[in-house]
């Protein structure tokens, strides 16, 4: 365990932070780290993320089979395996149920309006995946079209999953999703939204490129809607990648 000890301690630390911030309750949520091409370190099933010890974590292979550990593997391991398979750049995943963002997911509302410049820079857009029963192929089938194009997803009537170049990045993206959801909720309560326009978002793309200089490239896509006239507009589900307007691709083609 000496070689993977730092990763175990990191998962325990971020798991405790999720619990302290109310992003998970009881035994909700799961976290994982890709150790190498063939091994994934992941939280076990049926255990509070606020009371884990490094020795509680388990190691699985790329098929989700237990390689090392005394506890049972999470029933949602297939979601982690899917993300690692589709995103070679990802080495850390956090799945949680932050209340505000999960409320949007339960209401069938994506967080895809460009309301806050920092969110556009950091995450681009946070789409809503259709509902899939946890622990079944339904869930991975719902996530599969979106994982390659976004760094955080709302899961209908379920929660949020975020992923990044390491576990710290994945956790920070989870915090960003919940923070943005709180801001978006205030705009809904006020009865008006004033999204950034396409020109403003185009400028943020340039800023984002500078901000991410030296960091692993992000797959985060830009917001799917730039409606300035209808501030309350939202989409029930994210469009398939080929149907949405990807400003990043547009800029590269100029």
How does DSSP classify residue 163? E
* Cβ-based neighbours of 141, under 8 Å, separated by 6 or more: 132
Domain limits, the chain:
5-249
pLDDT band at 212, cuts 50/70/90? Answer: low
CA 194 – CA 196 distance, rounded (Å): 7
For the cut 70, the answer to whether the pLDDT of residue 242 exceeds it is no
**pLDDT digits over 75-107, tens only?**
899 999 999 999 999 999 999 999 999 999 999
d(C-alpha 61, C-alpha 76), whole Å: 14
pLDDT tens digits, 37-74 = 999 999 999 999 999 999 999 999 999 999 999 999 99
pLDDT above 50 for 225: no
Average pLDDT over residues 145-157: 96
Nearest 10 degrees: Cα torsion 56, 62, 65, 66? -30
pLDDT at 122: 87
Rounded to two decimals, the pTM is 0.84
**E strand or H helix at 185:** helix 167-190
pLDDT of residue 219: 53
Q: Any idea which fold 5-249 has?
A: L-fuculose-1-phosphate Aldolase (3.40.225)
CB 97 within 8 A of CB 25: yes
For residue 138, what are the CA distances in angstroms to 130, 132, 142, 226? Answer: 9, 5, 6, 31
What does the alpha-carbon distance between residue 110 and residue 104 come to, in Å, rounded to a whole number?
7
Euclidean distance between CA atoms 60 and 40, whole angstroms: 5
């Amino acid at each position: 365990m000496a070689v993977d000890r730092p990763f175990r301690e990191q998962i325990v630390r971020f798991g405790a932070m999720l619990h302290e911030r109310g992003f998970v309750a009881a035994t909700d949520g799961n976290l994982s780290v890709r150790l190498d091409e063939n091994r994934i370190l992941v939280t076990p099933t049926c255990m509070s993320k606020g009371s884990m010890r490094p020795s509680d974590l388990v190691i699985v292979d790329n098929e989700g089979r237990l390689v090392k550990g005394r506890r049972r593997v999470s029933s949602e391991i297939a979601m982690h395996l899917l993300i690692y398979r589709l995103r070679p750049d990802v080495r850390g995943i956090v799945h949680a149920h932050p209340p505000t963002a999960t409320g949007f997911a339960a209401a069938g509302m994506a967080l895809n309006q460009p309301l806050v410049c920092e969110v556009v820079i950091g995450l681009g857009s946070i789409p809503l995946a259709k509902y899939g029963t946890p622990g079944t192929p339904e869930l991975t089938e719902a996530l599969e079209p979106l994982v390659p194009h976004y760094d955080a997803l709302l899961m209908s009537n379920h929660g949020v999953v975020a992923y990044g170049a390491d576990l710290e990045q994945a956790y920070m993206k989870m915090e960003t999703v919940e923070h943005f959801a709180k801001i978006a909720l205030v705009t809904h309560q006020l009865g008006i939204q004033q999204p950034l326009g396409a020109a403003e978002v185009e400028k943020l793309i340039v800023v984002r490129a500078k901000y991410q200089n030296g960091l692993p490239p992000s797959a985060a896509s830009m917001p799917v809607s730039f409606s300035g006239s209808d501030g309350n507009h939202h989409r029930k589900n994210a469009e398939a990648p080929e149907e949405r307007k990807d400003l990043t691709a547009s800029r590269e083609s100029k």
